[in-house]
Amino acid sequence: MKRTQIELADGRELIYFDERDDAVRDQPDRRELPPPPHASQLRYDPLTDEWVAVAVHRQTRTFLPPADQCPLCPSRGDRLSEIPAPDYDVVVFENRFPSLSQRVAEEPAEITPFTPVRPGRGKCEVVCFTDDHNASFASLSPGRVRTVLDAIADRTTALGELPGVEQIFPFENRGVEIGVTLHHPHGQIYAYPFVTPRTRTMLAAARRHFERTGGNLYADVLAAERAAGDRVVASNQHWTAYVPAAARWPFEVHVAPHRPVPDIPALDDAERDAFGPLYLDVLRRFDGLFDLPMPYIAAWHQAPVHVDRELGHLHLQLFSIRRAKDKLKYLAGSESGMGVFINDIAPERAAELLRAA
């Protein structure tokens, strides 16, 4: 894989990850762009012990443009996009409308004695999986999935070295039902200046399990699911895809390596090669459930950068809000108000349907 780094017209970083060593990426960004926005504002909620980002500049971000105006397609002729080259394999660049940024203007003032405020220092990057606007992750080759994984590993390492960054979160949103604002197949990477609430909850459970048993909680759960078998969707020598016994979403699958590792950079070559074929199989099963493109979120759970790395176990959580061909699951009162999920489909039945898809 060849890595080429350039600077866009407004100073943002862009990196090409090419599968050919002879790829030339010397095309300049010919656009005239305003300076990137300053970092958002983080406000602390004392009632939940959580940080909330207030990023007002994101209100004007690009929203579902037609294909001939897609900012993630390559630049060709007079049609200029975020990617200056006329083609690419995988490309990563800093989001033009970031929730988190290293561009800090000034320290914000306190709102109340109970609501500390600080800059949203971090970084948000876009990962384009292919230059084909009409493709999807499920249509990629295993080799391209390996390139994407290597690119995310590269960025996980680099972003983790930024000052103040505590957690790296790669993810993909697919489908307008999920809230996607650009159709071009892409994902994102968030570098947070704190450990996220979901991860803190999982680490607390893992710590209690370790203190009680001396084992890794996720590894023990994975072993139990592999032994039970009825919720396993697919597996190979290095990975297992299964529906969690207490799945929150109608169709939810964890794709986990058998070897406990804290993050994507810790995967070896064999594990990286084995991920693509299995994950592509699962994604195609998702699309085959109702014979239509499945809206989903694919969320990589990685250990924090600096703390509790021994408690983590890398895994990908893939889930959809579609519960039937013509029905979506909305987060209603119990889920949105109290955080208590009610699943309409038994996890065992979901696994059975995915195996048959």
Give the active site residues: 186
What is the separation of C-alpha 183 from the centre of its chain, rounded to a whole number of angstroms? 16
Residue 328: CB atoms within 10 A of its CB come to: 13
The residues that bridge with 318 in the sheet, in sequence order, are 253, 298
> Binding site annotation covers 184?
yes
119-to-44, 99, 109, 111, 162 alpha-carbon distances in Å? 11, 11, 10, 13, 15
Residue 133, annotated ligand binder? yes
Beta pairing partners, 298: 172, 318
Alpha carbons within 13 angstroms on the beta-carbon side of residue 296 total 28
Token digits of residue 148? 């994407």
- What is the phi-psi region of residue 190: left when phi exceeds 0, alpha when psi lies from -120 to 50, beta otherwise? beta
Residue 73 annotated as binding?
A: yes
What residues are paired with 231 via a beta bridge?
none
Residues 6+ apart with CB under 8 A from 158: none
> How many other β-carbons are positioned within 10 Å of the β-carbon of residue 269?
9
Residues tagged in the binding site annotation for Zn(2+): 70, 73, 133, 184
Query: Per the annotation, where are the binding residues?
Result: 70, 73, 133, 184
